[in-house]
Structure 1
Amino acid sequence: MRQQKKFSPERGGRNGRPSSPNRAPNRPDLVRLYGRHPVTAALANPERRLVRLYATREALAEVETPAKLDVRVMDSQELKRLVPEGAPTQGLVLETHPLEGPALFDILQNIAPEDRRPILVLDQVTDPHNIGAILRSAAAFDACAVVTQDRHAPPETGALAKSASGCLELVPWVRVVNLARALDEIAEAGFWRIGMDGRAERSLSDVLGTCRPCLVLGAEGAGLRPNVVEHCDELAKLPISGRVESLNVSNAAAIALYAAAARG
Structure 2
Amino acid sequence: MSSNKILFGFHAVTVRLKTHPKSISEIHVDTTRRDQRMKSFVERVKEAGAKLIDSDDERLAKLAGSPRHQGVVARVQPIAMQHSLDGVMEDLEAAGATPLLLVLDGVTDPHNLGACLRVADGAGAHAVIAPKDHAVGLNATVAKVASGAAETVPYLMVTNLARALNELKERDVWIVGTSDRATKSIYDVDLNRPVALVLGAEGDGMRQLTAKTCDELVSIPMLGAVESLNVSVASGVCLYEALRQRKG
TM-score grouping bracket, smaller chain normalisation: 0.7 to 0.9
How far apart, CA to CA, are the structure 1 residues paired with 2:159 and 2:103? Answer: 13
Decide whether the 8 Å contact of 1:117 with 1:142 is kept in 2: no
The question of 1:43 aligning with 2:17 is answered yes
Aligned match of 1:178 in 147, 157, 160? 160
What is the TM-score when the length of structure 2 is the normalising length?
A: 0.84
Corresponding residue for residue 9 of structure 1: none
Shift of 1:63: 2.3
Aligned match of 1:53 in 27, 46, 54? 27
Give the secondary structure class of the aligned counterpart of 2:163: helix
Corresponding residue for residue 215 of structure 1: 197
Against the structure 1 CA distance between its residues 209 and 73, is the aligned structure 2 distance closer, same or farther, given a 3 Å change threshold? Answer: closer
Amino acid at match of 1:82: L
Against the structure 1 CA distance between its residues 222 and 46, is the aligned structure 2 distance closer, same or farther, given a 3 Å change threshold? Answer: same
How far apart, CA to CA, are the structure 2 residues paired with 1:54 and 1:248? Answer: 33
Runs of 4+ in 1 over 6 A off after TM superposition: none
Aligned match of 1:74 in 39, 55, 66? 55
Decide whether the 8 Å contact of 1:197 with 1:236 is kept in 2: yes
What is the TM-score when the length of structure 1 is the normalising length?
A: 0.79
Alignment of 1:60-99 (within 5 A): 60-63=42-45, 67=49, 70-89=51-70, 91-97=71-77
Corresponding residue for residue 143 of structure 2: 161
Aligned match of 2:111 in 99, 104, 129? 129
Give the secondary structure class of the aligned counterpart of 1:61: helix
Corresponding residue for residue 255 of structure 1: 237
- In the alignment, structure 1 segments of 5+ residues that lack a partner are 1-27
Amino acid at match of 1:107: V
Aligned match of 1:103 in 74, 84, 104? 84
Shift of 1:215: 0.3
The number of residue pairs the alignment matches comes to: 235
- State the Cα RMSD in Å: 2.5
How far apart, CA to CA, are the structure 1 residues paired with 2:47 and 2:86? Answer: 33
- In the alignment, structure 2 segments of 5+ residues that lack a partner are 32-38
- Which has the larger helix fraction? 2
